[in-house]
Structure 1
Amino acid sequence: MALLFYYFYNWIVMKKTYLTFVLILISISLFAQNGNGVNSSVFKSGEWFQFRIHYGPFNASYATMQLNETNYKGKSVYHVIGKGTTTGLARLFFKVDDNYESYFDKVDGKPYRFIRQIDEGGYTKDLEILFNHEVNSAIAYDRKRKKDTTLTIPVGVQDMMSAFYYFRNNVEFNKLKYGDDFVIDMILDDDEIFKFKMRYLGKEVLRTKFGKVETLKFRPYVQSGRVFKAKESLTVWISNDENRAPVRIKASLRVGSIVADLEGFKGLKNSFKIIMN
């Protein structure tokens, strides 16, 4: 919410095993919902988040999300940039330098352009996706393989960056009940549209570097495999205020767990609420 970073960044946790932190961070930040509607946006240009991803006591990487206004094809839009890099000892074992960008509508949140440029331990990708919502299609340009792919997109589709901001404004959060599920159509690559599912698990107070914060807890459902222990191995906590900011993300792996904590923020439209007692 991906994002979420979204929303984590890759680093080695055991031989030949890595985790795509950007996808987890920004994607599971999708449900930083508010429900006020786009006419009362919970964010503004200049909003910035930084996350520290750590494995036990060891820092693994940092991720940032920066939102600004820009011009795209003569239209004023939002432009978000998500960046991540491994740091310290983690970088010696597994170098990650990732860049994700999205240009999306300031009124209804639909994406116009998505960029995914990654270098993850030698695995690289340079992808650009242009959306044409009038004809329900998108063209994905794979710069590395010099390949273009046309995809049919459903109404309401989001890329992994724009989705974080879309849901912060467009889901009725105050009506959520424990166990409620949400599904969104998302595009990440040039091969398919996939459905991303989240479940609401109630409220929880967390101790953070900023103090105690009341949060809303969600469980994203991911495919189990050689990295995650099970499809329910991810948990995300969102601030229970008008910002709906990702506060903590935890991924249980086959060996230990990785945690992403909100490390810094600025440019928030609303006050970040701290429990004083």
Structure 2
Amino acid sequence: MKKMLTIIALLLFCLGSAQIDNIADGESLTLRIHYGILNAGTANLTTKKTTYRGVPHLYAKGVGQTTGAVKAFFKVEDLYESFINTETGLPSFYVRNVREGGYRQHFETTFNHDNHTLILTDKKNPANGSREIKSVKGVQDMLSCFYYLRSKSPGELKVGTVINMNVWIDDEMFPFQLKVVGTENLKTKFGTINCLKIIPSVKSGRVFKEKEGVTMWVSNDANHIPILLKAELAVGSLKASIDSYKNVKYPLNFTK
């Protein structure tokens, strides 16, 4: 179950810049994660309206952890934080602080979108200091991309939509393509809801089994909250499903 929240965040992305004021202050989403037949853990995503360097921002936090029997032999405690400019939809500051078994990593990234650079600081190894890295226009981090995707109107995110983008992960830029391939009605613990079916094309071999071994479903409404995610990994398979939600901006249309 290594890099649990990393995998989930990789599935949720978008492109460009736009206002994200339609994300509610105090929203909370929790996904229940299964690794094969095991109930492996949870991922919780929360938001809070704030300011960063005097500018209005959305503070997004993602927490992932293993639970139950999986935690006994492989402990995961992942923390992701992003300060997202509410006017542009682009990240200003990003934190990835993870403990996954014997693996430990703690990076902080400050984005400069005006000159397409970023400052990467290795907090785990302070001796490495900080370094400036050339970036690209409209780069997103692993949390900001999720909330930007959800900020798109139903008319912008629909069957046939194809989006290309770059996501900053750890100390490397990753190219992605997202395709909305259809709609489906999915059964959940809350009832049945209509969803957009989305397939991201991802770099195979490093985490995922195949180039298109990932599928996700988001609510087909103005919320675009994740309902179900499936991934065929290099070893085994992962599934994440909506377990709880709170303070979403628009009503969710579940039917029995």
TM > 0.5 between the two?
Answer: yes
SS at match of 1:199: strand
Match of 2:64 in 1: 84
Match of 2:9 in 1: 26
Out of 187, 209, 220, the position equivalent to 2:168 is 187
Match of 1:117 in 2: 97
Unmatched 5+ stretches in structure 2: none
Instruction: Label 1:155 to 1:123 Cα distance change in 2 as closer, same or farther (>3 A).
Output: same
Q: Which amino acid aligns with 2:132?
A: T
Q: Which amino acid aligns with 2:55?
A: K
Match of 1:169 in 2: 151
The answer to whether the 8 A contact 2:12-2:149 is kept is: no
The answer to whether the 8 A contact 1:182-1:197 is kept is: yes
SS at match of 1:269: coil
Once the two structures are superposed, residues 67-123 of structure 1 have per-residue CA deviations (whole angstroms, 9 ceiling, x without a partner) of: 001221122211001001101111122111000000011111111100000011111
Match of 2:189 in 1: 209
Question: Distance between the aligned counterparts of 1:269 and 1:184, measured in 2?
Answer: 26
Moved more, 261-270 or 67-76: 67-76
Q: Which amino acid aligns with 1:184?
A: M
Match of 1:140 in 2: 120
Instruction: Label 1:162 to 1:254 Cα distance change in 2 as closer, same or farther (>3 A).
Output: closer
Question: Distance between the aligned counterparts of 1:54 and 1:67, measured in 2?
Answer: 24
Instruction: Label 1:125 to 1:227 Cα distance change in 2 as closer, same or farther (>3 A).
Output: closer
How many residues matched? 253
**How do 1:249-264 residues align onto structure 2 when only pairs under 5 Å count?**
249-253=229-233, 256-264=236-244
Once the two structures are superposed, residues 240-275 of structure 1 have per-residue CA deviations (whole angstroms, 9 ceiling, x without a partner) of: 111100000011235542210000000111001113
Match of 1:220 in 2: 200
SS at match of 1:38: coil
Shift of 1:226: 6.7
After TM superposition, the score normalised by the length of structure 1 is 0.84
The answer to whether the 8 A contact 1:42-1:270 is kept is: no
Root-mean-square deviation (CA), in Å? Answer: 2.2
After TM superposition, the score normalised by the length of structure 2 is 0.91
Identity fraction in percent: 36
Question: Distance between the aligned counterparts of 1:272 and 1:97, measured in 2?
Answer: 30
